[in-house]
Chain A
Amino acid sequence: EAGVAQSPRYKIIEKRQSVAFWCNPISGHATLYWYQQILGQGPKLLIQFQNNGVVDDSQLPKDRFSAERLKGVDSTLKIQPAKLEDSAVYLCASSPTDGTSGYNEQFFGPGTRLTVL
């Protein structure tokens, strides 16, 4: 079974530029997550989708970040415009459960390392 795929793996941009990340979850997984992991910290949830609906986006900086999950499968996360403090690894994860309660194993992709200069 293929794992969670993410691209690109690395991205370097200048501040105020735009960037987009792509995630393909494990086939059949209903729930998809985007996390931001700043160096030396744990992952912080940005947004959680169940199928193509948003479950939680309370920590998404909506003035610059946006995310969508069309047709309940692939997802894209966009930053426009980027700031220096957005430098981080962006992790995508998926799970077969609804992600709100009960046992919920998340399967993580390798992440996209973003450097904002």
Chain B
Amino acid sequence: QQPVQSPQAVILREGEDAVINCSSSKALYSVHWYRQKHGEAPVFLMILLKGGEQKGHEKISASFNEKKQQSSLYLTASQLSYSGTYFCGTETGKLIFGQGTELSVKP
């Protein structure tokens, strides 16, 4: 039931791009993306709804392929502040989070 994220960890230099994938074995109604910095609470980034509606962060984009039950988070021109653990959450009456992807952005 838990969605699977890949990669598990990624290291970037400032300015580089990254893609984090999230896939589920179940049909999805929506996908949420959150970022958690070390020692802090998860913070909402993006929600993708069935039918293509998106709502979220200015500098981060995402896609949602309902047929493939997959979502991807695109981080472009990464900044140091992007470092943290990214979680996707799949909504089927309740939010089930993936195992997280740890992203480190180095100067």
A, B assembled together: no
| Chain A positions near chain B (C-beta within 8 angstroms) | none
